[in-house]
Structure 1
Amino acid sequence: MVKINSKKRIVGGIIFDSQTEGQYYQHLTNDPNVKHIELQPKYTLLEPFKIRCSKCKGAGTMPSSKTDRKIKCNTCSGTGMKSRQAWRYTADFKVTYMDGYDEVVDVKGHANERFPLVKKMWERKYNQELIVVKKVKGEWKRG
Structure 2
Amino acid sequence: MGRAKIARKKVVYQGIEFDSKSEYEFFLLLKSDKNVTDIQIQPQYTLLEAFSLSCYKCEGKGKVLNDKTLNMNKCTFCSGTGKKKRQPWKYRADFLVTYANGKQEVIDVKGYANERFPLVKKMFESVTGQELIVWTKDRKKGWVRK
State the TM-score, normalizing by the size of structure 2.
Answer: 0.91
Say how many residue pairs are matched.
143
Unaligned runs of 5+ in 1: none
**Any conservation in 2 of the 1:11–1:26 contact (CA below 8 Å)?**
no
Q: Aligned residue for 2:43?
A: 41
Q: Which deviates more from structure 2 when the two are superposed, residues 77-86 or residues 132-141?
A: 132-141
Shift of 1:10: 3.0
Letter of the structure 2 residue corresponding to residue 96 of structure 1: T
Counterpart secondary structure, 1:20 = helix
Shift of 1:35: 0.6
Q: How do residues 54-133 of structure 1 correspond to structure 2 at under 5 angstroms?
A: 54-133=56-135
1:79/1:23 Cα in 2 relative to 1: closer, same or farther (>3 Å)? Answer: same
- Identity, % of aligned positions: 53
State the TM-score, normalizing by the size of structure 1.
Answer: 0.93
Q: Aligned residue for 1:141?
A: 144
The alignment yields a C-alpha RMSD, in angstroms, of 1.6
1:70/1:5 Cα in 2 relative to 1: closer, same or farther (>3 Å)? Answer: closer
Counterpart secondary structure, 1:59 = coil
1:5/1:72 Cα in 2 relative to 1: closer, same or farther (>3 Å)? Answer: closer
Q: Deviation string for 1:33-74 (max 9, x for gaps)?
A: 101000010111111100110001111112112122222211
